Amino acid sequence: MIVRNLSVGPLESNCFVIGDEKSMKAIVVDPGDEPDRIMDVIKSEGLFVDYIYCTHAHFDHVGAVPEIKKETGARVAVHRDEIEIYRGAADMAAFWGYKIEPLPEPDLLVEDDDEIKVGDLTFRVLHTPGHSPGGICLFGEGIVITGDTLFAGSVGRTDFHGGDMNKLRRSFERLMSLPPETRVLAGHGPDSTIGTERAENFFPKLFS
């Protein structure tokens, strides 16, 4: 499995390019900015991108979707509960003083427990609302891509439109039920593991 991580844009969001070494098929997860850098990785690895998956639709995670879709012909996938946020991403960016191009309509609306095939690789969609209504994580092949639901030592904020602390708590508990050796690839910051987060993440202490 090919796993390439790029920290992109002024908010340093993590974009992941995940490829199957046998078929060279790939997905791009959260292309938030710097499409040229992302495309350089795709081309250097010789990958063919079938889908762009958005863990959620805040502008720093979707800003490069139009360019990557145009360059690769990939289909865009978001959770059906994230449509409102997705369609409002450009307005959210403007509110924070940034500019992104209008996003193309999603090609695929995913739901909890949907299966994703990337060549011989298999991932499962986990609906993990709380940071945003349609937040998802992608779990499989020993990794979980968590977007802004779970960070190393922290969790996503819930004070944006559609945020919900109680839902985030349930999503956190769901992620903590994954195997402890699962590698956590978060939307910002460094990697971690589920085992490390069980032991060290401060979030459960908020409810103790």
For 27-83, the pLDDT digits (tens) are: 999 999 999 999 999 999 999 999 999 999 999 999 999 999 999 999 999 999 999
Output the CA torsion sign for 36, 92, 144, 150: positive
**Helix-, strand-, coil-residue percentages of the chain, each rounded to 5:** 30, 30, 40
How does pLDDT run across 105-153, given as a tens digit for each residue?
999 999 999 999 999 999 999 999 999 999 999 999 999 999 999 999 9
CATH number corresponding to 2-207:
3.60.15.10
Output the CA torsion sign for 89, 90, 93, 95: negative
Amino acid symbol at 177: S
Which positions ≥6 away from 37 have C-beta within 8 Å? Answer: 6, 8
pTM: 0.96
In terms of Cα–Cα distance, which of 26, 10, 25 is closest to 59?
Answer: 10
- 195's enclosing H/E stretch is helix 194-200
Say whether 171 sits in a helix, a strand or coil: helix
pLDDT higher than 80, residue 206: no
Task: Decide which of 68 and 207 is more confident.
Answer: 68
* DSSP secondary structure, 1-40, as one string: -EEEEEEETTTTEEEEEEE-TTT-EEEEE---S-HHHHHH
- 168's enclosing H/E stretch is helix 165-176
In terms of Cα–Cα distance, which of 37, 36, 17, 35 is closest to 27?
Answer: 17
pLDDT higher than 70, residue 201: yes
Please report, for the chain, the start and end positions of each structural domain, with discontinuous segments joined by +.
2-207
